[in-house]
Structure 1
Amino acid sequence: MTTPAPFLNLTNIAKSFDGVHALRDIAVTIRRGTVHALVGENGAGKSTLGKVIAGVHGEDQGTIEIDGVRVSFSTPRDALRHGITIVAQELALVPTRSVIENVYLGTEPHIGPFVRTRALRSRYATLTEDSGIFVDPFAYVGDLSIADQQKVEILRALARGSSLIVMDEPTARLATHEAFALRRIVKQLRDAGATIVYVSHFLEEVLDIADDITVLRDGRVIRSGPAAVESPQTLIESMIGRPLAAAFPPKQYPEGGGRPMLDASGLSGRGFHDVSLQVSPGEIVALTGLVGSGRTEVVRALFGADRSTSGTVLLDGSPYLRRKPWRSVERGIALLPESRKLEGLFLSFSISDNVSLASLKKFSRGGFVRTGHERAAVSERLAEVDVRMRNAMDPVGLLSGGNQQKTMFAKSLLTQPRLLIIDEPTRGVDVGAKRQIYDLIVRVAQEGMAVLVVSSEMEEVIGIAHRVAVMRQGEIVGTLAGDDVTEHAIALLAFGSDDLMQHPQGRNNP
């Protein structure tokens, strides 16, 4: 087999934003017809490097060469003229137009002012046959799943003659089966001769599809080379710059007995029915199951963000009626929602304002906020959860995913909850920040807080939970504790024994 030739060479690339260095002295070679992965902790510079390659950001210094010829990109259009495009985390599609219109938007064949519809359909048919990617050409993009919208983005890139596609965290919002399908598409594109720059923090995924891997830390290249010599252990240690300790803190079980902090019985609502669940002080209970099994709907109903149609909820032995989010905060319940960007944080507000927003009443007197007390309390919480930032008055949207997640923890802890509900505690968080979040969850539980965690990550569920409640089709179908908490036992409950035989990947991830 011949070794793929160098295609794209980056030398001495640097990029800064507002005086903060995002990339320093980057040197990377990307071979034609390969999948080249960029990995690193949040804030390491991997997405920034992908955007420099695709012309979204212009480099401050350094050189970019394609097949030995120096090029410079001021805009994504410049990069596209050289066959380079990006499929970004935030998809840039027109939801009110059809798939075929989005794929060829701005490049449609015309006769005068009229689009040559027959030629357009023929071109689309050839494109899908050659790529192996099919999406109904006449479906409206806004009606598609995120996975199918990503396929549309890839088809649009191929329709424009792109030979190098940058994919920035392409599976971050996908369900497990959708992520597996996207992996197959990436491999098909590579086998057809395309070059893929793949930005991801899912290391197992990277090791499955990548030919080469570049590890970044603090905006610098730590090393770049064949994926075949790497393992999750070697990548993690290079990403965080130290040997990896145990992925999870030691599990200490709370003393039994006593009254549950949360006691839900026969709870039903949209997407779930007859759910009974208990969480005691000092206990971490995980609620898991397949995507769509009703996990998020249950915790939103407990918090009062959604209505329940029947059932009872006792909080520390007292009935909790007419549940509303503001009332839950007053009763000592805090919820970290699944989407920090859509529901957990105001991205344009400062870090400080985001943390104090749910607790302003405790800092107010006579209708005025005592800003000195507020800022002191906010600073204490931010330090407690180790948010890495320049200034607490910076917009929270400038923080990495891990630091945004820790900001939500600071916000919740400032309300002094007795019950902490966390929906997907480490989604979109790098491996270093994950351990910090696990340590934080374990610590607050050891201090006597009741913790209810919703998680799709099997290792996370097993690693931190004292008990695991598994949901399927809106019901809790079993609860596991102690040595019974295993991957196989969770998968059997999540899929059902018959379904599991048909979907063996369920053994690895619920």
Structure 2
Amino acid sequence: MDTPERVNRSTAPEITVSGIGKRYGASTVLRDITLSVAPGEIHGIMGENGAGKSTLLKILGGAIAADFGVVKLDDREVKIAEPRDAIAQGISLISQELALVPGLSVLENVFLGRWANTGSLLRSRRDADHLERLLAETGFELDPRAMAGDLPIGQQQQVEILKALARGAKVLCMDEPTAVLNEAEKAKLLKVIRSLARLGTTVILVSHYLEEVLGLVDRVTILRDGQHITTEDASGHTPESLVGLMVGREVDFLIPEVRPVPPEAKTVVQVAGLSSSKVKDVSFTVRQGEILGIAGLVGSGRSETLLAMFGADRTTSGYVQINGRRLRANSIREAIKAGMALVPESRKEQGLVMCRPVDENIALSTLSGRSLGGFVRVAREKAAVSEISHSVDLRGARRGSLIADLSGGNQQKALFAKWLLNPPAVLLVDEPTRGVDIAAKARIHGMIADLAAKGTAVVVVSSELEEVIGLSHRIHVMRQGRIVAEFDRNASRDEVMASAFLK
């Protein structure tokens, strides 16, 4: 696929979708969606998990085909049945799951798909010059020779944006673009989105960060249960008014009340001198009913600390002790047996088996308790899964449906349900509400607080400082693999941020 060296995005088309519908079996995901997006507009698509937001973006980006309806560009009907159709029309989809080749360089990833047409050194020089212009235009600071797989997630996302622009994208469809970014990376990306829009690029954005959306978009479209509710100017809305439209009811925005830890509460978790390739001499304790928050920048060692505790990352020294019992190092089986559970950062890569049904995923971690002589007690499993699914408000899941067919928020609820079938003594949670809507976020916060109230020791890692501060009894801040500061729940956002950034 060849694309022009200089892209004139001032010719971005008006996009109109009319009567768009999508079904999966008996489930209707989108029904009769009709809306228009103006050239150069930043347009927000909002709704609860399962409302159909990502499905609509995937249809525009050619990742899936609509069953009904038409897409028009400047009043011209176009067929978008696969990604190459969308790219040919100047539309690029940037999904939550980035599509880079880790073993290729930034330059090679940006121009991926064009090699078959040319192989000369001249082409390589032209590509390098083209990338240099795009880097200057966006303000991204990337080494063209760096391997994509070695970059932090924020820079990998920048490569995805450059790849879209290099293909001549006039329309960027962005699904949760800031979900995996730290505060500084978010600010930089939002600045780039505004700059691209000023140059004429149309941006269609799905995000659960309400304040972020209101500060960025021109208009907002609300979807609910697969239907178009309204499209309005963003300037007339507040986060509360958006939520009212999204869910059709009032939602409590507040972090749930976290009960104080009783003075007599015993120590459940002791981490002593834990070290791995990314963690250096980490030590802390967590008492029964306590929520310990771990804050820090991406790459500070937050996630790696949880993985090392769980036995998923190989440790080189130190130990973890649960209720006085020292765990064998580097053994996930040992950690689970001792009552530890991990809700990982990436539900799709680390937490769920995407090609298997919802009920199997939920039942997987406690399978041995419902087995006899190598056979699963199906009736017992069905009853247990049904009860916990109702408890976490899991929606869109029928018996036999694949976990991959659920929305991101409902996949996250299923991941929690997997461990709540048998409530753990220790719960490690990494980015508990990434990519979920405000109602699902409130539900998940409530689950964490309830578990702590019942005596579970909880360790929470989150890039959202408000979440860490609001949920936690104590907060540790990590930098370069080490704990560098400790705060109580009365800490300010500025104090925690300063500890994360400043040496």
TM-score by length of 2: 0.88
Which of 254-263 and 342-351 deviates more? 254-263
Does residue 1:490 correspond to 2:496, yes or no? yes
Q: Could you say which residue in structure 2 is the equivalent of 1:370?
A: 377
8 Å contact 2:12–2:171 — kept in the other structure?
A: no
Does residue 1:200 correspond to 2:207, yes or no? yes
Equivalent position SS for 2:154: helix
Q: Could you tell me how far apart the structure 1 residues matched to 2:135 and 2:398 are?
A: 49
Residue type of the alignment partner of 2:407: S
Does residue 1:269 correspond to 2:276, yes or no? yes
In structure 2, relative to structure 1, the CA distance for the partners of 1:442 and 1:154 (3 Å cut) is closer
8 Å contact 2:175–2:207 — kept in the other structure?
A: yes
Which of 306-315 and 282-291 deviates more? 306-315
Q: Could you tell me how far apart the structure 1 residues matched to 2:125 and 2:341 are?
A: 56
Q: Could you tell me how far apart the structure 2 residues matched to 1:95 and 1:6 are?
A: 33
Does residue 1:48 correspond to 2:29, yes or no? no
- 1:493 deviates by 2.9
Does residue 1:303 correspond to 2:275, yes or no? no
Does residue 1:386 correspond to 2:388, yes or no? no
1:227-283: per-residue Cα shift (whole Å, max 9, x none)? Answer: 222222222222222122242222321321142111233333333333332222222
- 1:158 deviates by 3.0
In structure 2, relative to structure 1, the CA distance for the partners of 1:437 and 1:93 (3 Å cut) is closer
Q: Could you say which residue in structure 2 is the equivalent of 1:320?
A: 327
Q: Could you tell me how far apart the structure 1 residues matched to 2:325 and 2:21 are?
A: 59
Q: Could you say which residue in structure 1 is the equivalent of 2:454?
A: 447
- 1:56 deviates by 3.2
Q: Could you tell me how far apart the structure 2 residues matched to 1:53 and 1:317 are?
A: 55
In structure 2, relative to structure 1, the CA distance for the partners of 1:5 and 1:339 (3 Å cut) is closer
In structure 2, relative to structure 1, the CA distance for the partners of 1:367 and 1:478 (3 Å cut) is same
Q: Over aligned residue pairs, what C-alpha RMSD do you find?
A: 2.8
Q: Could you say which residue in structure 2 is the equivalent of 1:218?
A: 225
Residue type of the alignment partner of 2:14: F
In structure 2, relative to structure 1, the CA distance for the partners of 1:21 and 1:493 (3 Å cut) is same
Equivalent position SS for 1:355: helix
Residue type of the alignment partner of 2:491: V
- 1:205 deviates by 2.4
In structure 2, relative to structure 1, the CA distance for the partners of 1:429 and 1:123 (3 Å cut) is closer
Equivalent position SS for 1:302: helix
- 1:437 deviates by 0.7
The structure that has the greater radius of gyration is 1
Q: Could you tell me how far apart the structure 1 residues matched to 2:218 and 2:342 are?
A: 41
Alignment of 1:134-283 (within 5 A): 135-283=142-290
Which of 357-366 and 145-154 deviates more? 145-154
Q: Could you tell me how far apart the structure 2 residues matched to 1:368 and 1:42 are?
A: 35
Pairing partner for 1:337 from 344, 355, 368: 344
Q: Could you tell me how far apart the structure 2 residues matched to 1:339 and 1:325 are?
A: 17
Does residue 1:286 correspond to 2:271, yes or no? no
Residue type of the alignment partner of 2:369: K
Q: Could you tell me how far apart the structure 2 residues matched to 1:388 and 1:475 are?
A: 39
Pairing partner for 2:29 from 22, 25, 39: 22
1:335-385: per-residue Cα shift (whole Å, max 9, x none)? Answer: 212211111111112222222222222222333332232332222222222
Structure ranking higher on relative contact order (CA contacts 8 Å, 6+ apart): 2
8 Å contact 2:12–2:200 — kept in the other structure?
A: no
Equivalenced residues, count: 493
Does residue 1:397 correspond to 2:397, yes or no? no
Q: Could you tell me how far apart the structure 1 residues matched to 2:387 and 2:322 are?
A: 28
In structure 2, relative to structure 1, the CA distance for the partners of 1:106 and 1:6 (3 Å cut) is closer
- 1:142 deviates by 4.1
8 Å contact 1:6–1:29 — kept in the other structure?
A: no
Identity of aligned residues (%): 43
- 1:325 deviates by 1.3
Residue type of the alignment partner of 1:229: G
Q: Could you say which residue in structure 2 is the equivalent of 1:502?
A: none
Gaps of 5+ in 2: 1-10
Q: Could you say which residue in structure 1 is the equivalent of 2:89?
A: 82
- 1:400 deviates by 1.6
Q: Could you tell me how far apart the structure 2 residues matched to 1:36 and 1:409 are?
A: 32
In structure 2, relative to structure 1, the CA distance for the partners of 1:304 and 1:187 (3 Å cut) is same
1:35-66: per-residue Cα shift (whole Å, max 9, x none)? Answer: 11212222111111122223333333333332
Gaps of 5+ in 1: 500-510
Does residue 1:348 correspond to 2:355, yes or no? yes
- 1:115 deviates by 6.2
Which of 309-318 and 188-197 deviates more? 309-318
In structure 2, relative to structure 1, the CA distance for the partners of 1:107 and 1:115 (3 Å cut) is farther
- 1:436 deviates by 0.6
